[in-house]
């Protein structure tokens, strides 16, 4: 791994605010609004949250991030999909810090090295790391939530490629002990349905109402299956609908990790997980075929009992 290098916040100033003070105010407002809208607060072991430009998905992401209690968390595993290059495994960063307009987040180079030595991971080159927004869009929120212990936690970014069932099983077994450790948090980066000609995806059943209502029903079917924590059912849904959930592989890896934990963790130490979606939104309510939208959803995985 690299001795000392910083990944710059390449999307700051375009996808989100580059001024640290303004960004902090924006994140604070969204977190307060989310708390005021829903008084229910869980202690997240993992979250699913969107990665679009903050003007679109920032308010939705707050509903997931408000459920993180950083007090006992030492490591954050950040899993995002690869948008810009073909990847059939998982890739790690070669940097030692990730820059945000708030402060630089330290990478857990020891854990990253341990993962790399398994032979299952590749390393992102500098351009690939810089180009990918699915990881970066979560960094300001992570920095904000962990601001009081900024020197006392580490990040493990993982870019998740197109994993087949065999690879999902292997990575799931590897990550299961980390997920079952209360000192770790998993952040899963995903948007939901991308509808429109520019996404080459325009299904619609008039029986479900207007197009935006069809999209909402389609997304909620997937969300309900994710809540059941059954990977095979989620995959059947993806095959039957082709729903353009860009984080399907990071979500699948989380579900695989939960399933594999039952095989590699002693039953006496095995947590009982509960997944709940807490917010859903669309960038635009599509009413005509030449329109488009992207859906955003936030979910929280907690340990119960």
Task: Grade residue 233 by pLDDT with cuts at 50, 70 and 90.
Answer: very high
Task: Grade residue 4 by pLDDT with cuts at 50, 70 and 90.
Answer: confident
- Between these two residues, 257 and 41, which has the higher pLDDT value? 257
pTM of the predicted model, to two decimals? 0.96
Token pair of 294 as six digits: 């992207």
Classify residue 291 by burial, with Cβ atoms within 10 Å: 0-12, 13-18, 19+: middle
Mean of pLDDT values over 68-83: 96
Mean of pLDDT values over 52-63: 96
265 φψ region: left (φ > 0), alpha (ψ -120 to 50), beta (else): beta
In this predicted structure, what is the pLDDT of residue 247?
96
How far are the Cα atoms of 26, 185, 228, 259, 289 from residue 264, in angstroms, in the given order?
Answer: 42, 19, 20, 10, 48
Percentage of residues in the chain having pLDDT higher than 90: 91
How far are the Cα atoms of 201, 209, 245, 284, 291 from residue 287, in angstroms, in the given order?
Answer: 15, 10, 20, 9, 7
Task: Grade residue 41 by pLDDT with cuts at 50, 70 and 90.
Answer: confident
Return mean pLDDT, the chain.
95
Whether 243 contacts 222, CB under 8 Å: yes
In this predicted structure, what is the pLDDT of residue 58?
97
Whether 244 contacts 251, CB under 8 Å: no
Whether 275 contacts 47, CB under 8 Å: no
Q: pLDDT tens, 201-211?
A: 999 999 999 99
Task: Grade residue 12 by pLDDT with cuts at 50, 70 and 90.
Answer: very high
In this predicted structure, what is the pLDDT of residue 130?
87
CA–CA distance, 12 with 21 (Å, rounded to integer): 13
In this predicted structure, what is the pLDDT of residue 227?
98
Spatial CA neighbour of 234 closest among 217, 214, 256, 212: 256
Q: What is the dihedral of CA 287, 61, 277, 221, to 10 degrees?
A: 30
SS3 40: coil
């Amino acid at each position: 791994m690299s001795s000392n290098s910083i990944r710059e916040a390449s999307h700051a100033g375009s996808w989100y605010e580059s001024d640290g003070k303004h960004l902090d105010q924006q994140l604070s407002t969204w977190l307060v609004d989310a708390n005021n809208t829903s008084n229910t607060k869980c202690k997240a072991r993992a979250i699913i949250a969107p990665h679009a430009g903050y003007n679109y998905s920032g308010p939705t992401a707050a509903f997931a991030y408000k459920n993180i209690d950083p007090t006992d968390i030492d490591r954050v595993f950040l899993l995002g999909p690869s948008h810009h290059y073909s990847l059939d495994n998982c890739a790690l960063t070669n940097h030692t810090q990730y820059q945000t307009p708030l402060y630089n987040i330290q990478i857990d180079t020891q854990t990253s090295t341990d993962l790399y030595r398994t032979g299952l991971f590749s390393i992102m080159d500098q351009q690939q790391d810089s180009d990918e927004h699915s990881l970066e869009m979560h960094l300001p929120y992570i920095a904000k939530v962990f601001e009081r212990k900024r020197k006392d936690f580490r990040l493990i970014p993982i870019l998740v490629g197109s994993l087949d069932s065999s690879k999902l099983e292997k990575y799931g077994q590897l990550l299961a002990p980390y997920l079952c450790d209360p000192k770790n948090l998993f952040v899963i980066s995903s948007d939901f349905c991308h509808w429109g000609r520019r996404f080459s995806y325009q299904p619609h059943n008039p029986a479900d109402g207007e197009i935006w209502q069809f999209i909402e029903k389609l997304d909620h079917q997937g969300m309900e299956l994710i809540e059941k924590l059954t990977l095979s059912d989620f995959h059947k849904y993806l095959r039957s609908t082709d729903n353009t959930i860009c984080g399907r592989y990071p979500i699948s890896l989380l579900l695989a990790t939960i399933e594999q934990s039952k095989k590699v963790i002693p039953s006496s130490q095995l947590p009982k997980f509960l997944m709940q979606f807490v917010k859903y939104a669309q960038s635009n309510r599509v009413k005509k075929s030449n329109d488009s939208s992207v859906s955003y959803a936030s979910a929280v995985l907690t340990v119960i009992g």
